[in-house]
């Protein structure tokens, strides 16, 4: 170890070692695969990953999921105006303790493509009231010999009432008029992906949306829509021209 070597040169290796032993490792927390819109009271699943700054084995490490309340609500400890010049709510969130809604333990699996991110999938229940909530995932420390500082991360949970209208979107290549499968249809916060016939169905609440359909190598299709009944839309996508280098 470099530090030990340095300590030996300084003639005080024991002091250095002692300091090393008491310094907790950092744990970084990641949360993903959060559905963009969750119907009130329904169960949903997210993924939680944690990594130790020294790549310790975090298998079976415990974590908690906390509901910090509705964003913008004074009662909740949600995100403050993100544009604030001061330390933002986001930076604060990890230190705030909301209502614990779940606990879990990491598996012994590393997330594919990572070198030390231990992962778990958690099933959760959406609040019974619609709105955008701030939740957080927090490492609960470990019983091992090396202490780990509590890492945490916050994330948004969008809870919606039962969307009543069905929007059917047909997507084709403008030039060939052939269906585009795998295109992403977004009517924030609702999303769907087109099937092999180029069709996607999105169930949305009444309201005004901007309908986006995007696909790799194509220019995104955008259309303002007012939804007050079931409806259909056709999106014709242009291949994006390659900018010439001259």
CA distances in angstroms from 12 to 3, 17, 20, 25, 114, listed in the order given: 11, 9, 13, 22, 37
Give me the 112-151 binding string for other proteins, x by CB under 8 A, dash otherwise: -xxxxx--------------x-------------------
Smallest separation, CB 59 to other proteins (Å): 15
Q: Is 184 in the site for other proteins (CB under 8 A)?
A: yes
| Nearer of residues 120 and 153 to other proteins, judged by Cβ | 153
CA distances in angstroms from 177 to 173, 196, 197, 232, listed in the order given: 5, 14, 12, 17
Q: Which of the stretches 100-108, 155-163, 199-207, 226-234 binds other proteins when contact is defined by CB under 8 A?
A: 155-163
Tokens of 88: 């933002």
Smallest separation, CB 198 to other proteins (Å): 17
Window 13 to 42, contacts with other proteins (CB under 8 A) = 26, 28, 30-34, 36
Q: Is 186 in the site for other proteins (CB under 8 A)?
A: yes
| Nearer of residues 7 and 68 to other proteins, judged by Cβ | 68
Smallest separation, CB 240 to other proteins (Å): 5
Window 187 to 226, contacts with other proteins (CB under 8 A) = 188-189, 210, 212, 214, 216-220, 222
> For residue 170, which of 183, 159, 158, 161 has the smallest C-alpha distance?
183
Q: Is 86 in the site for other proteins (CB under 8 A)?
A: no
Query: In this chain, which of 2, 74, 85, 244 binds other proteins, going by CB under 8 A?
Result: 244
User: Interface residues with other proteins (CB under 8 A)?
Assistant: 26, 28, 30-34, 36, 49, 51, 79, 82-83, 88, 90-91, 111, 113-117, 132, 153-156, 158, 184, 186, 188-189, 210, 212, 214, 216-220, 222, 240, 242-246
């Amino acid at each position: 170890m470099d530090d030990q070597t340095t300590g030996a040169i300084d003639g005080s290796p024991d002091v250095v070692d002692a300091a090393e032993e008491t310094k907790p490792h950092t744990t970084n927390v990641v949360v993903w695969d959060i559905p963009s819109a969750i119907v009130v009271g329904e169960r949903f699943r997210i993924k939680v990953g944690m990594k130790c700054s020294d790549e310790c084995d975090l298998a079976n490490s415990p974590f908690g999921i906390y509901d910090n309340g509705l964003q913008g609500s004074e009662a909740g400890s949600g995100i403050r105006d993100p544009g604030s010049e001061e330390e933002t709510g986001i930076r604060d969130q990890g230190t705030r303790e909301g209502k614990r809604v779940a606990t879990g333990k990491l598996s012994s699996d590393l997330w594919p493509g990572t070198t030390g991110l231990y992962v778990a999938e958690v099933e959760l229940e959406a609040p019974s009231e619609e709105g955008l909530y701030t939740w957080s995932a927090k490492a609960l420390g470990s019983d091992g010999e090396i202490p780990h500082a509590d890492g945490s991360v916050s994330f948004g949970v969008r809870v919606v009432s039962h969307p009543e209208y069905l929007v059917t979107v047909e997507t084709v290549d403008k030039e060939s008029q052939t269906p585009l499968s795998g295109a992403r249809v977004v009517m924030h916060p609702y999303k769907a992906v087109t099937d092999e016939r180029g069709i996607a169905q999105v169930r949305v609440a009444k309201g005004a949306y901007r309908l986006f359909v995007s696909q790799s190598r194509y220019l995104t299709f955008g259309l303002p829509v007012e939804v007050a009944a079931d409806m259909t839309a056709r999106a014709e996508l242009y291949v994006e021209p390659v900018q010439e280098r001259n």
